[in-house]
């Protein structure tokens, strides 16, 4: 049997002929599990521990500075940059799926490796994520390693909250500040995804709202505060995808949906990054990721994820600039 030595006292499995050390070694004496007990708990305590925190979060994020719609690779990359750089901003991320991550749990089709074209690898360096360097591109050994790493980082930021299993059903809109007849987004309309999917089956299941920051109690603009923003990263068209892009064309009468074009990796990745950021037709609205392809009519890139990270970073940079001005 091979012997593994480690500096850390606990949490590392240490296999040798005599001793096996792991996190519970000091609790389970002499490998005897027969009397193993968990600390006591009441069922109601578990309910309260979950629901009180969830409702505290709903209360805290009922007014948010940044609402990110969709927790795929582009949305999570943007969330990381915003939440890290501005701990004072409240960043809410609304994800319709139970599992955050969007399409980034696999590289492409059902294959695990994730390809990122340079210079997107610099984001991986920041995340301290290992990859194989193939010259013009790098390979993360499993897309799930990228997704779980970004997730584990953003979820630890105190100013970031993920509301998963929750769909954005509509946008809250108000007249734009400049009094030129334009429109600004002022929040998102949310519902449990299962409810959103069952509107045809039940008579009344009204939604809830997350409002953007920058308003007074009477609903008028608070000029002393920056207006909050929505960053939509809902991916290409699908059951929920391209949500805001489709909604925005009925809000901005001058806009026609571009519609995602066929696959062309070189054009697609550059196109998505170019189109990412503030949407000029509706104030305080930003896009990143494949939703840009639907909005602006870019090609799709298939299984190369550099533009997801980089478009998220670009949108995040614009949002940070908005709050810094």
> Known binder of ligand: residue 290?
yes
Residue of 240, 279, 287, 323 interacting with ligand AHZ (CB under 6 A): 240
Mode of pairing for the β-strands spanning 63-64 and 208-212: parallel
Site for ligand AHZ contains 289 (CB under 6 A) = yes
Torsion on CA atoms 48, 52, 54, 60, rounded to nearest 10: -170
Residue of 78, 92, 102, 174 interacting with ligand AHZ (CB under 6 A): 102
Residue of 96, 147, 184, 284 interacting with ligand AHZ (CB under 6 A): 96
> Known binder of ligand: residue 181?
no
Residue 244's nearest CA partner among 230, 256, 258 is 230
The residue among 171 and 278 lying less far from ligand AHZ, judged by its C-beta, is 171
> Known binder of ligand: residue 301?
yes
> Known binder of ligand: residue 302?
yes
CB of residue 224 to ligand AHZ, shortest distance in Å: 31
CB of residue 169 to ligand AHZ, shortest distance in Å: 7
Structure tokens at 222: 């608070």
C-alpha angle 54/60/65, rounded to 5°? 125
Contact yes or no for 260/293 (Cβ under 8 A): yes
Structure tokens at 10: 């606990």
Site for ligand AHZ contains 74 (CB under 6 A) = yes
Contact yes or no for 111/97 (Cβ under 8 A): no
Main-chain phi, psi angles of 275, to 5 degrees? -80, -10
Site for ligand AHZ contains 316 (CB under 6 A) = no
Q: Give, in order, the Cα–Cα distances in Å from 21 to each of 34, 173, 287.
A: 18, 58, 49
Site for ligand AHZ contains 67 (CB under 6 A) = no
C-alpha angle 167/173/174, rounded to 5°? 160
Site for ligand AHZ contains 69 (CB under 6 A) = yes
Q: For the window 10-49, what string marks contact with ligand AHZ as x by the rule CB under 6 A?
A: ----------------------------------------
Site for ligand AHZ contains 162 (CB under 6 A) = no
CB of residue 75 to ligand AHZ, shortest distance in Å: 6
Contact yes or no for 226/322 (Cβ under 8 A): yes
Structure tokens at 133: 């360097």
CB of residue 97 to ligand AHZ, shortest distance in Å: 4
> Known binder of ligand: residue 214?
no
Handedness of CA 95, 97, 99, 100 (dihedral sign): negative
Residues that bind ligand AHZ (CB under 6 A): 69-75, 94-97, 102-104, 167-168, 233-236, 240-241, 243, 289-290, 300-302, 305, 308
Q: Which residues are known binding-site members for substrate?
A: 74, 95-96, 103, 168, 206, 236, 290, 300-302
């Amino acid at each position: 049997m091979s012997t593994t030595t480690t500096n850390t006292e606990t949490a590392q499995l240490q296999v040798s002929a005599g001793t096996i050390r792991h996190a519970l070694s000091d609790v389970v004496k002499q490998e005897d599990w027969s009397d193993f007990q968990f600390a006591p708990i009441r069922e109601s305590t578990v309910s309260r521990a979950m629901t009180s925190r969830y409702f505290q979060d709903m209360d805290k994020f009922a007014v948010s500075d940044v609402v990110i719609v969709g927790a795929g690779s582009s949305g999570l990359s943007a969330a990381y940059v915003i939440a890290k750089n501005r701990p004072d901003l409240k960043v809410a991320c609304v994800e319709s799926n139970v599992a955050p991550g969007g399409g980034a749990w696999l590289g492409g089709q059902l294959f695990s490796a994730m390809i990122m074209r340079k210079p997107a690898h610099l984001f991986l360096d920041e995340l301290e994520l290992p990859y194989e360097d193939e010259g013009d591109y790098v390979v993360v050994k499993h897309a799930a390693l990228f997704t779980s790493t970004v997730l584990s980082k953003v979820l630890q930021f105190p100013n970031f909250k993920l509301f998963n299993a929750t769909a954005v059903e509509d946008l809250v809109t108000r007249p734009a500040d400049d009094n030129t007849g334009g429109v600004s987004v002022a929040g998102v309309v949310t519902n449990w995804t299962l409810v959103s999917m069952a509107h045809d089956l039940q008579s009344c299941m009204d939604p809830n709202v997350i409002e953007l920051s920058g308003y007074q109690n009477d609903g008028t603009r608070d000029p002393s505060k920056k207006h909050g923003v929505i960053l939509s990263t809902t991916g290409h068209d699908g059951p929920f995808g391209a949500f805001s892009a489709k909604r925005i064309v009925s809000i901005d009468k001058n806009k026609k949906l571009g519609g995602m074009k066929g696959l062309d990796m070189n054009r697609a990745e550059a196109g998505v990054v170019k189109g990412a950021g503030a949407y000029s037709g509706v104030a305080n609205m930003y896009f990143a990721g494949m939703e840009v392809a639907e909005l602006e009519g870019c090609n799709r890139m298939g299984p190369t994820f550099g533009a997801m990270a980089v478009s998220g970073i670009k949108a995040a940079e614009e949002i940070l600039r908005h709050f810094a001005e």
